[in-house]
Amino acid sequence: MSRNSKFLNALSGDVSATPPVWYMRQAGRYLPEYRALRAKAGSFLDLCFDSDLASEVTLQPIRRFDLDAAILFADILLIPHALGRNLRFAEGEGPLLDPVTHETDISGFRETDILSDLSAVFETVTKTRASLPEDKAVIGFAGAPWTVATYMLAGRSMKDPAALRFQYYEHPAFITELIDILTTHTIAYLKAQIDAGADAIQLFDTWAAGLPWPVLDKLSIRPLEKIASALKASRPETPIILFPKGVGEKSIEYAMIGHADGLGIDYGMDPSWARANLSDHVTVQGGLDPLLVVNGGKAMFDAAETLLKLFHDVPYVFNLGHGFVPQTPPENVAALTEFIRGKGR
Ligand code: CP3
């Protein structure tokens, strides 16, 4: 890639004096300017589908904190939306969708043209790319097929999504077909994001946690490998980051996916284990407990310093071990970012 971006360089193996930094959920309710635009848009989905507003929201954390990368403002559930699952976000309840329970619910999915329903997303990417300087990267993303499937099967957020594996034991062909359809659509969706201007791609497998082997391999790792290899075959310049949350030592299996450039680690993982076992294969990203940023101060700086020290001699991207929570004070994000940039506590 010709773009001289610290973030993209780290993904291709460069080590710099201080790592590039961006944050999961860097745009969102903890920012007053987000809440203002969100109120103006009406609903969260209206905001996602208005490319001017969504691009503005994407840029808000870059303006405030001068981060190295902007992550597209959208949601992993826009694919189920495009598949006609009646997605809505009820205040205080999180996402609600019409659950898929039968073969007949998914039989039309293969033929569904999701890209025209999602055209606003690609416009958001293009507008964001055009508004950013060369040295800032735009990250496109999608949910991993398994994580998206958990919402489609349950119709909502679950406490223990891994329990849905029971449906796989009962109806293996049905679940396999759903995952396969999502894999195919995700490849097309991400290619379109890259063509619209995304410089890198992240895949979120938030609910990989708790799946036993070999179900994890079948429903999480293999679909991600298929997506990564299809993207690399047609868009070889674009780095791919995987974020399989809560998979512990199984993260090695994700790091070994030959087409992955980066691997996000969650806050439950011992970062020294990650340094010893993952850094030979991929650029590690993240790790900081987002709840440390709520109170900030010494505990936050100490944990950030541990990560900086551990990863100082290997390619590394600073980030959280999951997204910011809404009660995070933006001042603490500013202080953390300055600290990562070597400007002291
Ligand atoms: O800043 C960014 O990270 C970019 C935008 C982004 C959002 N969601 C915006 C959002 C990204 C990358 C996501 C990913 C996402 N969405 C995941 C994977 C990562 C993770 O957090 O585990 C998942 C599982 C979802 C599904 C989802 N979207 C849920 C469960 C919820 C409701 C939870 C909540 O906090 O209300 C959402 C809504 C959502 N997505 C919000 C934002 C800013 C809150 C919407 C609002 O009320 O304004």
Query: Could you tell me the two tokens for 38?
Result: 């969100």
pLDDT tens by residue, 136-184? 999 999 999 999 999 999 999 999 999 999 999 999 999 999 999 999 9
pTM: 0.97
The neighbouring-strand residues paired with 69 are 137
Contact (CB, 8 A) for 301 and 343:
no
6-342: what CATH class?
alpha beta
Residue 337: name the closest of 104, 13, 63 by CA.
Answer: 63
pLDDT tens by residue, 259-285? 899 999 999 999 999 999 999 999 999
Predicted local distance difference test score (pLDDT) of residue 153: 98
Predicted local distance difference test score (pLDDT) of residue 2: 53
Determine which residue's CA is closest to atom 21 belonging to ligand 1.
323
Domain ranges of the chain: 6-342
Question: Which helix H or strand E contains 163, and what residues bound it?
Answer: none
1: confidence class by pLDDT, cuts 50, 70, 90: very low
Contact (CB, 8 A) for 233 and 240:
no
The Cα–Cα gap between 285 and 304 comes to 12
- Using a 6 Å cutoff on CB, does residue 75 contact ligand 1? yes
**Residue 201 — φ and ψ, nearest 5°?**
-130, 135
pLDDT tens by residue, 107-135? 999 999 999 999 999 999 999 999 999 99
Question: Does residue 75 have an active-site annotation?
Answer: yes
Q: What count of other Cβ atoms lies within 10 Å of the Cβ of residue 158?
A: 14
Predicted local distance difference test score (pLDDT) of residue 226: 98
Ligand 1 mutation pick, 22, 47, 63, 75, max ligand atoms within 8 A of CB: 75
Determine which residue's CA is closest to atom 4 belonging to ligand 1.
73
Helix (H, G, I), strand (E, B) or coil at 161: helix
